[in-house]
Chains A and B, each alone.
Chain A
Amino acid sequence: MPKLPAPPLPAPLKTPPPRPGQGNGKGGPLEDAKQAGITVVDWVDERTSLSGAARWMMFRKVPKGTNWFYTLGSATMFAFLSQAVTGVFLAMYYRPDPAGGAYESIRYVTNDVFLGQFVRGMHKWGSSVMVVLVFLHMARTFFFGAYKYPRELNWVIGVVLLILTMVMSFTGYLLPFDQRAYWATIVGVNINGTGPLVGPYLSDFLRGGSEFGATTLSRFYAIHMLLIPGLMAALIGAHLFLVAKLGTTAPPWTRAEKRHELRETEV
């Protein structure tokens, strides 16, 4: 009888392919490149133990039922990083000069710089994307009950991040310094002033004086570019650390598995 070929082995039973650099004699440029990469990573890891931290962060356990809603937090962080990067490139061209330089620098970026309109558009629309994602993420956390013990501190940090996002939107809106930006800021600062007792002082603090003045634009620019991004980066780091440390919760519709001994007492 002719010998039939052996059936294909299932994947877990196949012998694993050799790792690069294990001396199986099949050296080549690809193997050399892989070996070089591993050497660099090993050099850093031996001096920092970062691979342990990376494994802790990336290979953590998640509960059964984890679904696409859980990606909203990462999506928000991605939007923040996009804003940060496009913001850095815009900052290379922007001039915070209220006597016309601000408007002119934005006109220059939009019309004359290669891909300037694209980067500015990414930044402008990205801010709306980020606000929407922040609220969706907050809603997901709320409706899934993921703010309860021991995650209350994470919720508080999240609320502070929400407020900082709003402040970023408000301060960034003034920077193009066109009619819409100017009047929206006037209106926004005056709305702040309607708070009782501290309102007038809060308005003065935001504007840098009792009237919109020479330093108002610079103030908003410094808050938008330096103060709040620093605070947000630090708080996002704390937020992510707590998420990894405490773990994520299962969706509220999953039921815990009952222990076998208790099943008989179930009605």
Chain B
Amino acid sequence: MPSKRDKHQSKYTLDRGIPGAFEGETITRRRFMTGTAHSAGAVAAASFALPALGFAFGPIFKSNPHRWEVVGTVDQFPDNNYVPVVITLQPNIGEAGKSTVYMRKFNPEIDTDPYDKGTPYIAISSRCAHVGCPVRWVDASERFICPCHGGVYDLLGRRVGGPPVRPLDRFYTRVNGEDVEVGPRFSVNSQLRRFSPRDPGETLDGIGQYLYPSRPGAQKL
């Protein structure tokens, strides 16, 4: 089917045969007015829509400042057992912002993984890597047990049973004089290689780290 505009159309309305055209006009007054009204409407709509969208989606990109919290003194934590301590993940919201961390001193016989070198203390998060229920350290069996769906982790937080998809998250630790401080969270894959914190249920082995990308709001140190 032949194109209706097979001749290159002139940019002058006079040549295009539009009624009311005058010499040298390239856009009709009607079209100009319509375009201006539409542009003004778009600016007005954007002036309330864009801030609203920014408000709704902004928190995805906001990163919380890294906080270091004192959890005890250097002689409070053994190197073969875990001690639970309550830390604040989100200040100002009361109990809802708190979580439990299991603290243990670094033990070179147990923590043989090369990624752990240089860590003074091991801080394991109680957040189960299945859907986020709080796990409990059971000393007699040397396991972390999740009450919700039966996830079981070993002494290093690696999954040994149940539906979790990766080991338990950990926190950075440092020693400040006599105090032990716990810092931001990070996630590990089954080889205990470190990644920026991920939500529960997101595996980090193999393709997992690309399938569940790191979020702008949560970066590791």
Q: Which residues of A contact B (CB under 8 A)?
A: 98-100, 177, 182-183, 186-187, 189-191, 193-194, 196-197, 199-201, 203-205, 207-215
What residues of A have a CB within 8 angstroms of the CB of B78 in the complex? none
- Also in contact, A99 and B89, with CB within 8 A (given A200-B213, A205-B57, A209-B217): no
Of residues 179 to 216 in B, which have CB atoms within 8 Å of A's CB atoms? 197-202, 211-215
Can you spell out 11 A-B residue pairs with CB atoms less than 8 angstroms apart? A99-B92, A177-B96, A189-B199, A190-B201, A191-B201, A193-B199, A197-B211, A197-B212, A199-B212, A200-B199, A210-B218
- Also in contact, A212 and B94, with CB within 8 A (given A196-B212, A199-B212, A201-B215): no
Q: Are A214 and B92 in contact (CB under 8 A)?
A: yes
Which residue of A187, A205, A214 contacts B132 across the interface (Cβ within 8 Å)? Answer: A187
Q: List the 9 shortest-distance A-B pairs measured between CB atoms, nearest first.
A: A193-B199, A99-B94, A210-B218, A194-B201, A208-B59, A210-B217, A187-B131, A98-B93, A204-B60
Bound Cα distance A203, B60 (Å): 9
Interface residues on B, range: 20 to 34
Which residue of A200, A209, A211 contacts B198 across the interface (Cβ within 8 Å)? Answer: A200
Nearest CB on A from B13, distance (A): 42
- Also in contact, A201 and B60, with CB within 8 A (given A191-B201, A193-B202): yes
Tell me what chain B mostly uses at the interface: helix, strand, loop, or mixed.
Answer: loop
B62 within 8 A of partner (CB) = yes
Q: Which residues of B contact A (CB under 8 A)?
A: 56-57, 59-60, 62-64, 89-90, 92-97, 131-133, 148, 197-202, 211-215, 217-218
Q: Are A204 and B92 in contact (CB under 8 A)?
A: no
Nearest CB on B from A12, distance (A): 60
Q: Are A99 and B93 in contact (CB under 8 A)?
A: yes
Q: Which residue of A lies closest to B201 (CB)?
A: A194
Bound Cα distance A103, B97 (Å): 15
Bound Cα distance A203, B95 (Å): 21
Q: Which residue of A lies closest to B215 (CB)?
A: A200
What residues of B have a CB within 8 angstroms of the CB of A100 in the complex? 94-95
What residues of A have a CB within 8 angstroms of the CB of B63 in the complex? 210
Q: Are B90 and A190 in contact (CB under 8 A)?
A: no
Bound Cα distance A86, B96 (Å): 27
Q: Are A193 and B60 in contact (CB under 8 A)?
A: no
Nearest CB on A from B94, distance (A): 4
Bound Cα distance A203, B199 (Å): 8
Q: Which residue of B lies closest to A177 (CB)?
A: B96
Q: Which residue of A lies closest to B165 (CB)?
A: A194
Which residue of B56, B62, B148, B202 contacts A200 across the interface (Cβ within 8 Å)? Answer: B202
Q: Which residue of A lies closest to B200 (CB)?
A: A190
- Also in contact, A214 and B64, with CB within 8 A (given A200-B198, A200-B202): no
Nearest CB on B from A264, distance (A): 51
Which residue of A187, A189, A200, A205 contacts B212 across the interface (Cβ within 8 Å)? Answer: A200
